Amino acid sequence: MEAKLDTGAEHHHHHLHRPDEEGHAHAHAHPLQGDMAEGPRRPSREELSHIQGWGADLDRKNRPAVPMERMPARFIHPHEGKLPQQPENVEVLVSTERPGITPIFGTAQPPKGLSGMMRRVAFRWAENDLRHWLLLLAADRVNVVEGIGEDLAHGKVPNVLAEMGIKAEWEHNKAGLVKKAVIAGAVVGTVAYLMRRRER
């Protein structure tokens, strides 16, 4: 389509500079010039009505939230005064960019073990420091291994393959799973080879 438009543009340019018998140049309008100036035609509502859900925001009757809308609109009243401070029963890591701990915070995953040590080190740097996020990502991976160790210590054998989604990936993405397995095997083999070579 683009090549046709370019050809038309060249043809139009050719007519603009073609002189007549008396030496005067005349401009001839190209047949596509009017359509190109107006732009592509937008489809009408009737032409788009076959698309399920199209135009749901045009008619208020099709809006799921219309019965719940109120005028004036509802809003959450701000808390009067200072929010009460949540008691700090576990260790909470605070960013260096905050003056203190927030009034409300999560306590489900307090830092512990090796992953907790890595997170404490990560929070020594500001959030705009790459080391902060790389250490947190590494701590998450270490925490996964720690969780497996805790399960084994409590007599529970975790289904690691199912939790990693390998079964679903084998059903829907066999090629990708095989590729990952080959790469992982190559990495493990290389590391084992280098360790044996160093021992020798």
Per-residue pLDDT tens over the stretch 17-41: 444 455 554 444 444 444 455 667 8
Q: Are 105 and 114 in contact (CB under 8 A)?
A: no
Length of the chain equals: 200
Which tokens sit at 108?
A: 């489900």
User: In 3D, which of 109, 114, 160, 107 has the Cα closest to residue 138?
Assistant: 114
Domain that holds residue 181: 159-200
Domains: count for the chain = 2
In a domain, 186, yes or no: yes
Average predicted confidence (pLDDT) for the chain: 78
In a domain, 19, yes or no: no
Residue 139's Cβ-count burial label (10 Å; 0-12, 13-18, 19+) is buried
In a domain, 25, yes or no: no
What does the alpha-carbon distance between residue 55 and residue 49 come to, in Å, rounded to a whole number? 8
pLDDT at 46 over 60: yes
Could you tell me which residue, 50 or 135, shows the higher pLDDT? 135
Same-domain status, 174 and 194:
yes
Same-domain status, 142 and 152:
yes
Same-domain status, 154 and 170:
no
Per-residue pLDDT tens over the stretch 140-179: 999 989 998 888 898 988 887 777 788 888 888 889 889 9
Residue with tokens 């005028």: 71
pLDDT attached to residue 119:
95
